[in-house]
Chains A and B, each alone.
Chain A
Amino acid sequence: MEQFFLDPSIYTLARGPLVWLAFLVFLIGMFYRVFTTLKMAKKEKVIYPYLNLKYTLRSIFRWLMPFGSISMRKHPWFTAVTFVFHICLIATPLFLTGHIELWHESWRISWWALPVSLADAMTVIVILCSILLIFRRLYQQDIKFLTSFSDYIVIILVALPFITGFLAHHELLLEYKIMLTIHMISGEIMLIAIPFTRLSHMFMFFLTRAHTGSEFGAVRHSRDY
């Protein structure tokens, strides 16, 4: 943060104040979305009376476990790709040495980091999976029918920080500092976009599963997986 006031530039802006902004918007936006959804759900009288913790947890567990549902078993390739994609997508930025150093620099906290070469490979995996997801949208008939322009934007939004991060790390295409600035800005855009786009499925997942899991388990006595 201080760096920006000492030496104002796009680089220090993206490295300091924008990070703060992105995290604030992400966290507040996320809480706001969850809070308003829970409040709206009260208006529908058929949600809260039927919620059931046991079946909520069963449902979430089944769908977070690879091949835990009949749906995933019927789509083994897609399941494998999405699981690898999501794990790398979340784990890489959280356990990247470079990112942890930044946390340490500002807040004096640090945690276990991924070996650099592994993190590098995981980044490539995210990029490859994004390409696969785009190809799937382009060439699989039923998904092509469902896809609109915004679906490609969402994938690109997610893939961009990884592409730029990879390029910056290997000092390809553009000068390191410029690429790093683009990397930071794209990451911040992604964080800000999460509460306001369909990327919000990262937390809405738990709410919809709670409802459907409870309905299926506690009321209908059947499986939702």
Chain B
Amino acid sequence: MEFKRKPVTDIGIDETLNRVDEAKIKKAIDWVLNKETSARLKVFVETCMRCGMCTTSCHHYLGHNNDPTYAPAAKVKQTIWDILNKKGNVSKEDIKKYARITFTECNLCRRCVQFCPFGIDIAYLIALVRRMCCLIGVVPQYIYDQVLSHMQTTNMLWFRQDEWLDTIQWLEDELRAEIKNGKIPVGKKDAEVLYLAHGLEAKYMTGLITNMAKIMNVAKVDWTLPDTDGWDYTVKALYAQDFETMGKVIKTHYETAFRLNVKKIIIGECGHAFRTAVYEGVRYLGWQEPPIPYIHGVQLFYELLKEGKIKIAKKIEEPVTIQDPCNIIRYRGMGKMLRYIVAQLCENIVEMSPKDDHNYCCSAGGGMIDSGPPWKTARIEGGKVKAEQIRNTGAKIVIAPCHTCHKGIEDLNIYYKLNVHVKFLVDIIAEIMEIPEEMKP
């Protein structure tokens, strides 16, 4: 079986390769192999028995009609094994192939790790090759643009600080149409909670910030948004494995929290940001665990519902299914909390199979959706398993507490004609919660 793919053009990969030479490629590979890797790479490569237990765990393998070149171990064979066999002397064509496999055929969801008898961290091996590509500068253009934005503005969409403040002001105006004297505090010192937003929420999906503000006001949470850069919790540098930028962004988040003297940071419904803030980012900065609690939207809603700070007026009756985002379920075990929340909100829950931490990835995560339009087909094909899973539940609403899952499943919905609505928890809660009489305008 050969590695056969339809040609796809991506400036970030093709143009960069026109500029660099083999010497630079070798230098980047040697740097990663000698300076950044050690026992894990060696043991993982030497212990793999090529047993194939991981093969059917991968949605890309299943989505591409069982093409062996999409199996997890096969992706490792075609990338890092190949690099090691060639002792780092690889051609530009090789790099192009590695970039394609690692950025657009793997979501780093780590489901295959659960299927490996030796627990070989396949996502780590794939990420290593991404790191090499990143050091050469070979990264899909859409990811790289967002990383550059993070480098300069600490947010993903080239949003300026004054635009941020302006946005929050008019969002507060809008909020007051629903909540009497509703407030969105900005840069409030000694608040209990620092809330960070998703870059997209500030630019295109502002309703999500308004809805979160609604919940925060009703639950009477002492919260604030940052008044400076660093309000965007996303860290797209994770996808490119650009550790330096990732470290800078995460550091800004924690520094902002310390400057405002808050007790914890809360983010909305996002997978990769949470994962970066509690694992990759803090580990890169040298902390074992986050220096102050870093709370995900699911944990927040769980606490608010459990403590009765928000009450639900009327539950949703349509059949609902739950998407378990890898980065908060497989990476942080929030499955039970998520199910508790959904049970409070909905009457009729139909679970996907498999579910919870064995759930399949939405095929959009780990940078695949951020690779942009050139790679959309790869993502949609890989999402076939997820589409079937959703179709089999017969649900009308898919609750996806993650921006990436949300958008990914929306695309699957259109392509595979699933006829579902994809919803965030924050939207559902804001819609169906009780608003006390005195808060009604």
Contacts and interface: CB of A to CB of B under 8 A. Distances in A.
Interface of A: 37-38, 40-41, 43-47, 49-50, 59, 63, 69-71, 74-75, 78, 82, 137, 140-148, 151, 198, 200-201, 204-205, 207-209, 211-213, 215-216, 219-225
22 contacts: A41-B38, A41-B40, A43-B38, A43-B39, A49-B288, A75-B53, A78-B51, A142-B55, A142-B68, A143-B52, A143-B55, A145-B1, A145-B69, A146-B74, A200-B46, A204-B46, A204-B47, A205-B47, A207-B43, A208-B44, A215-B121, A222-B335
Nearest to B275: A220
A220 B332 contact: yes
Contact of A220 (B74, B333, B358): B333
Given A44-B38, A145-B74, A211-B119, A70 B114 contact: yes
Nearest to A141: B68
B71 interface: yes
A220 B113 contact: no
B161 to A, nearest CB: 34
A63 B117 contact: yes
B108 to A, nearest CB: 13
Residue of B46, B73, B74 ringed by the most chain A CB atoms within 10 A: B46
B42 interface: yes
B38 A40 contact: yes
Contact of A71 (B39, B116, B329, B335): B116
Contacts of A225: 114
A67 to B, nearest CB: 12
B279 interface: yes
Interface string B93-134: 000000000000000000001111111110000000000000
A200 B329 CA distance: 33
B241 interface: no
B357 interface: yes
A143 B50 contact: yes
B40 A211 contact: yes
Given A71-B114, A146-B73, A212-B121, A201 B49 contact: yes
A71 B114 CA distance: 7
Given A71-B115, A141-B68, A151 B44 contact: no
A141 B68 CA distance: 6
B56 interface: yes
A63 B115 CA distance: 10
A59 B73 CA distance: 21
B57 interface: yes
Nearest to A222: B357
Given A78-B53, A208-B118, A221-B334, 4 more contacts: A49-B288, A70-B354, A70-B358, A146-B50
Contact of B118 (A43, A201, A219, A222): A201
Contact of B68 (A145, A148, A221): A145
Given A44-B38, A222-B330, A201 B52 contact: no
